[in-house]
A and B are shown apart, each in its own frame.
Chain A
């Protein structure tokens, strides 16, 4: 069996005797006999490393790894540069705890400070935290952060990701607060409906940009009415799109959040991902999570520390705005490496290329009989098509090791990234054409 206990049997006995005990059972004298587990666990016997490797690889082989993925809906298959895989695997980054002890954690602290700067640059905001769990929790935390004693109602765009909506709903259920869904018109948040819903109880409005259907919202136009009503404006953004898109700050957002997975993290059946969260200086002290700040040490040298901790649960306990403790530091590091490897030009290329491929695919597919773009409006790298024989199309693609778009609301939500070549897209179109013929 496998074990990571280094002490030999002889040493274990030696240590037991040193503390005046005879057996391991003596260590648990406080555990009442009635609940002491006096049977082996119903687990298989331990295995050697080789056997574990074989057993887990056998599980991985039961999954299907597609050559091409044309499905997004919150998990995006972008190319991950090789170096982005190697750096976060370095053992010190990997095995350190939260950097409470600044003197031996400058590497982690500086990497977070750099990450915070990059998120500020992407979003146009003044301050970013060190990350939260994922895009959905970032949205939920932002909505929680916006509430005060009088304003408790959150309005959420119906064109936001269903998991994000449900997560915000769950956090609001926790604090006994209300949420309302802003109706969708032609695939986008209905601005007139929003205006009618902006009552004095509204604390925040959450809109996703681009939205779940891939469409660019008229996000900037909604900022003014939200602010006039005294509410905060929260934009959930795709970080790749931010390589070319107007920043949430310039669109009038008070808080910018999003799913950081596209920044170098694998789709990995849903996680670990990365929630990014940034705001203006005005709201800095309400921002949840870790924040790294620059200071000096006792010799005047530049140093980084976990800062503004008076916001956090270990100081404020039940008065803290959030209970968050561990976040997604290694994923934030990964995003930092990704952004460094891509640079501003590389990020722009990923965004432009993903958008271009999606539009090419859309254009070619909608030439086929019976295929219609449901919402004809500017989109980023996702689009919803109404098409006949959807099941047959997806299964024909599946046979060619291509994961087609996501069946959703009677249509198919397609996504393309820079990874897929024109040649592959042409093959996809040919396969779909074959089914529809």
Chain B
């Protein structure tokens, strides 16, 4: 595909604005640009066709099965988009007077009420813009809590070795030393390992439950009790809430604060990598530490972003919550878990599950034995799936499973899709024994073959330059 700059024609343009009807003002000479920026010069037809071409080379949830583990790629309802596009929301200035924004306040208050009920929390902020941003906010609540008590000896955050990379990165951004603890053989928290690192230097624990291998940690109450006993707080990473919403609540598991990925669990679209919304809920004793906008609300609080967050994402999540309601929320969770177990069951006998037991909303395949037998890696299988029109699962995560493929089908896939996916996995499993070379070279029908990532990193070309 040509770059937009390669389609640009000097002097071509769209007719967007009227002529300026007041006197022009000159910028002082020392402030003027030397030369115009090299931006595309196009007609509206050119713009439309260019982006339509790009859009044709994107695999979205609407295109087909997208079992990308830990990302909860469920269907994004169109009504949510329509609601977020209402001029009564898009045209509202964040600093408009209170009387002019009552609808926005109602959206936030209603979403907060429902999500607090689902998580078992007392209060919630929508300022964080994504999951990792929510983690940052949540751990800052913990930090402020200890600081408010002059408890300055708490310098460590405990993170299981199965955790997503954002967890340790977040703890470091909050000035904490990260203590990684090994997981037990079943992928759950090793209680003895946890006890051995707990102490009066423990600020808190970051945990997701179900965990990153898709298993609900049945010792969760003991885990949170132990952390609290040591004087630490418990942070719930909501990445996997889709498995348990309406069934069991982080607040009832003993967690003090949580972040939610509205762009996963509550069906707002990922947009190719954002915008998301990382709402953070907390128990009442942490509520005074929640972030606020210095300009829009009041100074004197922490603040992780301008104004009050990705508001239109909250509108979408609220429309979704209103649709599902009290029965629909647990129904979604139960069917997410059912679909994952059914798909794992159907794949069994070919690729081996890393943990052969009832899973939650996702499961991990361990291809290390298969690779030994065939030479075909998790990467080869993932790339081969592309030729079937399936988005590959998450690869090589969590780090505690070698040759891992993590599958999360979500509740919005039908039995037919799951049966088809299982058949594809079975076919590829067999192909690996017959023609491994074909799989090493996959994908065969995609727009490009495997890209040279080493070259991209060694000789970085990160922008277009006119020849």
Selected interface stretch from A101-109, A193-201, A367-375: A101-109
Contacting residues, chain A, for B166 (C-beta < 8 A): 313-314, 323, 325
Is B370 among interface residues, defined by CB-CB distance under 8 A?
no
Is the Cβ of B247 less than 8 Å from the Cβ of A342? no
Scoring B residues 18 to 29 as 1 if CB is less than 8 Å from chain A, else 0, what string do you get? 001111110110
Is the Cβ of A270 less than 8 Å from the Cβ of B307? yes
Q: How far is the CA of A284 from the CA of B274 in the complex (A)?
A: 22
Interface residues of A in 405-437 (CB under 8 A from B): 406, 418, 421-422, 425
Is the Cβ of A121 less than 8 Å from the Cβ of B306? no
Q: How far is the CA of A110 from the CA of B275 in the complex (A)?
A: 18
Is B386 among interface residues, defined by CB-CB distance under 8 A?
yes
Contacting residues, chain A, for B263 (C-beta < 8 A): 326
Tally A-B pairs: CB < 8 A. Answer: 708
Scoring A residues 324 to 368 as 1 if CB is less than 8 Å from chain B, else 0, what string do you get? 111111110100110111111111111011011101100000000
Q: How far is the CA of A34 from the CA of B225 in the complex (A)?
A: 15
A5-B411, A6-B412, A349-B17 known; A90 vs B52 contact (CB < 8 Å): yes
Is the Cβ of B28 less than 8 Å from the Cβ of A295? no
Is A162 among interface residues, defined by CB-CB distance under 8 A?
yes
Is the Cβ of B324 less than 8 Å from the Cβ of A46? yes
Q: How far is the CA of A131 from the CA of B325 in the complex (A)?
A: 34
Is A392 among interface residues, defined by CB-CB distance under 8 A?
no
Q: Which residue of A lies closest to B36 (CB)?
A: A344
Is A318 among interface residues, defined by CB-CB distance under 8 A?
yes
Interface residues of B in 242-268 (CB under 8 A from A): 244, 246-249, 252-253, 263, 267
Contacting residues, chain B, for A203 (C-beta < 8 A): none
Is the Cβ of B94 less than 8 Å from the Cβ of A269? yes
Is the Cβ of B47 less than 8 Å from the Cβ of A337? yes
Contacting residues, chain B, for A301 (C-beta < 8 A): 448-449
Is B467 among interface residues, defined by CB-CB distance under 8 A?
no
Contacting residues, chain A, for B54 (C-beta < 8 A): 93, 106-108, 110-111
Is B151 among interface residues, defined by CB-CB distance under 8 A?
no
Contacting residues, chain B, for A324 (C-beta < 8 A): 130, 132-133
Which of B32, B51, B273 is the one whose CB lies under 8 Å from A246? B32
Is the Cβ of A43 less than 8 Å from the Cβ of B114? yes
Is A192 among interface residues, defined by CB-CB distance under 8 A?
no
Is the Cβ of A245 less than 8 Å from the Cβ of B33? yes
Is the Cβ of B462 less than 8 Å from the Cβ of A96? no
A41-B118, A71-B96, A326-B276 known; A271 vs B455 contact (CB < 8 Å): no
Is the Cβ of A102 less than 8 Å from the Cβ of B95? no
Is B391 among interface residues, defined by CB-CB distance under 8 A?
yes
Contacting residues, chain A, for B305 (C-beta < 8 A): 133-134, 136-137, 163, 167, 271
Number of interface residues of A (CB under 8 A): 205
Is the Cβ of A43 less than 8 Å from the Cβ of B76? no
Interface residues of A in 105-146 (CB under 8 A from B): 105-108, 110-114, 116-118, 120-122, 126-128, 130-131, 133-137, 144
Is the Cβ of B252 less than 8 Å from the Cβ of A74? no
CB of B20, distance to nearest CB on chain A (Å): 4
Is the Cβ of B323 less than 8 Å from the Cβ of A96? no
CB of B101, distance to nearest CB on chain A (Å): 6
Is B464 among interface residues, defined by CB-CB distance under 8 A?
yes
CB of B138, distance to nearest CB on chain A (Å): 12
Is the Cβ of A108 less than 8 Å from the Cβ of B335? no
Selected interface stretch from B38-46, B193-201, B228-236: B38-46
Is A303 among interface residues, defined by CB-CB distance under 8 A?
yes
A116-B462, A313-B169, A343-B13 known; A6 vs B248 contact (CB < 8 Å): no
Q: How far is the CA of A173 from the CA of B37 in the complex (A)?
A: 37
Contacting residues, chain A, for B310 (C-beta < 8 A): 271-273
Is the Cβ of B165 less than 8 Å from the Cβ of A63? no
Contacting residues, chain A, for B110 (C-beta < 8 A): 59
Which among A37, A144, A317, A359 has the greatest number of chain B C-beta atoms within 10 A? Answer: A317
